[in-house]
Structure 1
Amino acid sequence: MNMLAKWQQALIALLLWTSLAGCGSKTSPDPLSPEAALGKLIYFDASLSASGGQSCASCHQPAFGHAQPNDLPAQPGGSHLQEKGQRTSPSLRYLAYNTPFEVDAEGKAKGGFFWDGRAQTLAEQAKQPFLGKVEMANPDVPSVIAKLAVTPYSAQFKKVFGSDILSRPEAAFEQMAMALQKFQLEDRSFRPFSSRFDQYLAGTIKLTPAEMRGLDLFKNAEKGNCAACHTAEKDQAGLPPLFTDFSYDNLGIPRNLALKHNQDPSYFDLGLCAKTPEDKRSQSAWCGAFKVPSLRNAAVRQAFFHNGQFKSLREVLVFYVQRDTHPEKWYPQSADGRIDKFNDLPLVYKNNVNVEEVPYERKKGQTPALDEAEIEDVLAFLRTLTDADLKPTQ
């Protein structure tokens, strides 16, 4: 981790921890700093895109947990909103607690932003869509700043960042990104901790019997084993569980032919190993691994995993426990009659798929780790992770 990333992360930690007390309990939002207030204006401003029709909020809508509002595997973008990306739009909620990409002493990858960890900070993550060909599609930084210069808030931008800031496009772009980062850090809608599960942790409500059974199954290392990656306990400082450890896993998700890129049989989205910094691309064991998302507000989502292959939370749970016991449900049959398991990976990387941890350690024909009734109980628990301003759709 470079010194700039360390400094930014220390600042983020300070901002978050100084405001954590009482999180989710206030009836009115805290006032935003001038920088964060500009970040909010930028976040919702579609005029900053080449199409004039896409903002940050288009793919990360507050009403959907700051995630995509539909079941598409990738959101439309480009200069005429006719281009298709290759991945779903993950939620931005609770992402402020993420850390820059790093590899621990055991060689485990953790942190980083986007599905593949290619950005080190929220600010770095915020910059990339403005220039993405299948996203906001601006050709270069000066074109972004030219659009910013004619917004109703351009004078406010100059007041905060300097009267000459718009004449220095690269510097202005950096300040745009930092403003977006500050907005996400300061606005508590990105981390409300207001779900029924948070109320349960605070001792103000009780969960139903089905929800409690689901919680037990979720944490049981011999059953759901979900908490192995989707942490379900408070941390040492008392932060409520984020339901992710920000690590990466290769689950062998089936290929989604609805994605334009996947129409080419030679194309494979290799995730972490293809998008991490150059000195880490030699880690072939990471090929096919993607970021473990938070399960907070998972019951609001309509498309799951990096490629949007699954459309319901129930289908996701069934896949988890039946991927190996009933592979014919998820993968196509090859010409020789065999099931083409893990068909969204080249043959050389299929051994990277997690087949050791519960519930993936089972073989074809064996009993799945969870039965139908247990799946319903886990679903009941997952719905308790929905923030109070949202409504479960699953």
Structure 2
Amino acid sequence: MKKVVLRTLVPLFVASVGLSAADLAADAKAVGLLPLPKDQKGVDAILKENGVKASKFTKEKAELGKKLYFEPRLSKSGLISCNTCHNLGLGGTDGVAAAVGHKWTANPHHLNSPTVYNSVLNTTQFWDGRAGTLADQAKGPIEAEPEMATPAKLAVEKISSLPEYVSEFKKVYGKEGVTFDNIADAIANFERTLITPSRYDKFLAGDKKALSAKEQEGLKVFMDKGCIACHSGVNLGGSMQSFEVAGKYKFANLGDFKGDKNGMVKTPTLRNITETAPYFHNGAIWKLTDAIKEMGSVQLGIEITDKEAEQIETFLGSLTGTKPKIEYPMFPISTDATPKPMLD
């Protein structure tokens, strides 16, 4: 698993007041801000660069994975799907502070659901970085008791009880057919398609008019203040970074999450950030400008003024991307062999 250490806490004064749009875009790329890949070959290139190993992408895998992503029978209760906590109509999140799962159980660590959009471009998955791939990540919530509560064996039994799925798995995965690994792999292949290109990407690619003057000004402030120390790369985040570097997070005691064994926390992507409140690992802050100012204090050891926070927020709005059109799937009908839902 690739971990990226915080580069610097010194504000990077790369932009001047009179900087042209072309120069601003060039400076942004020079400090590590990159546009989204345009296709799956581009995704493969980024995965390779990040040291992330993934199975070969195919449209057939992704189509099967889409059904499984929305499939509530992968949960013990038959009510919860991947889309419950990573709702594609809500910015890829659930809009609550702590994820809610089986038996209406709130996440025991009070952890907020990260967005699934563009998640394939993260260098690691989960807040503590314990999974290196989307496929590994997909297994976790299915089996976790406070989430979908379905052991791997039961998940395979459920999917294997549905002839349409069995046939589709054989077409996609050959003799292996329905396995827990293949269920997770198919879901991961679907999630690979959830890329959201934005006006920001057009700006980095050379469209000088893609961002308004105020958005460009916000991008300058974003870079000048040093936000790019953690929020960099193609996903403006997604790597493991030290947390509470310069100060104490005011809501640190909400939940018991302290990062990985080294105190590192996965930096969330800033893409579509205006759609994914509440913020931070424990969902304690609901207003984006408040989150920006808190990060200045906690991570950079600086005060970000109300005006500067608003300028940065204006720029962050340009990261709201175009979502892929997803048609809700029709599922196979349960059979007599399909395990019954269990609410206990």
User: TM-score, with normalisation over the residues of structure 1?
Assistant: 0.63
| Among 226, 235, 239, the residue aligned to 1:242 | 235
- Cα contact 1:75–1:85 (8 A) shared by 2: no
Q: Distance in 2 between matches of 1:294 and 1:88?
A: 14
Residue 143 (structure 2) pairs with residue 131 (structure 1): yes
In structure 1, which of residues 310, 315, 330 is the aligned counterpart of residue 285 of structure 2?
310
Identity among equivalent positions (%) equals 30
RMSD: 2.8
Q: Check 1:231–1:322 CA distance in 2 against 1; reply closer, same or farther (3 A cut).
A: closer
Q: 1:218 is matched with which residue?
A: 222
Q: Does 1:142 align with 2:153?
A: yes
State the AA in 1 paired with 2:228.
A
In the alignment, is residue 230 of structure 1 matched against residue 231 of structure 2? yes
Secondary structure of the residue aligned to 1:290 is strand
Structure 1 residues 256, 165: closer, same or farther in 2, change over 3 A?
same
- Give 1:156 shift: 1.6
Q: Give, as a single letter, the amino acid of the residue that structure 1 aligns with 2:157.
A: A
Q: Cα deviation per residue 1:334-384 (whole Å; 9 max; x = unaligned)?
A: xxxxxxxxxxxxxxxxxxxx5xxxx31x5xxxxx2x322222111111101
- Counterpart of 1:211, as a letter, is E
CA–CA distance in structure 1, aligned partners of residues 169 and 283 of structure 2: 37
Whole-Å Cα distance in 2 between the matches of residues 322 and 182 of structure 1? 38
Shift of 1:205: 2.5
The answer to whether 1:378 aligns with 2:312 is yes
Partner of 2:203 in structure 1? 200
Which of the numbers 73, 78, 90 marks the counterpart of 1:47? 73
* 1:269 alignment counterpart: 257
Q: Which digits, 9 at most, give the CA deviation of each residue in 1:207-250, with x for residues without a partner?
A: 22321221111001xxx210111126xxxxxxxx3212613121
Please say if residues 77 and 85 of structure 1, whose CA atoms lie closer than 8 Å, have aligned partners that are also in contact: no
Tell me the CA shift for residue 184 of structure 1: 2.2
Quote the residue 1:184 is aligned against. 191
Q: Name the CA distance, whole Å, in 1 between partners of 2:269 and 2:79.
A: 29
- 1:320 corresponds to 2:319: no
Q: Point out which structure has higher relative CO (alpha carbons under 8 A, 6+ apart).
A: 2
Q: Are the equivalent residues in 2 in contact too, given 1:196–1:388 (CA < 8 A)? A: no
Contact persistence 2:61–2:190 (CA under 8 A): yes
CA contact (8 A) 1:60 1:92 kept: yes
**What secondary structure is seen at the aligned counterpart in 2 of 1:64?**
coil
Work out whether residues 76 and 85 of structure 1, in 8 Å CA contact, stay in contact via their aligned partners in 2.
Answer: no
Paired position in structure 1 for 2:134: 122
Residues 120 and 207 of structure 1, relative CA distance in 2, 3 Å threshold? closer
When normalised by structure 2's length, the TM-score is 0.71
Q: How many residues align?
A: 272
Shift, 1:19, TM fit: 8.0
Amino acid corresponding to residue 114 of structure 2 in structure 1: P
CA distance in 1, matches of 2:174, 2:210: 52
CA contact (8 A) 1:36 1:182 kept: yes
Contact 2:238 2:266 in 1 (8 A): no
Amino acid at match of 2:149: A
Of stretches 175-184 and 298-307 in structure 1, the one that deviates more from structure 2 is 175-184
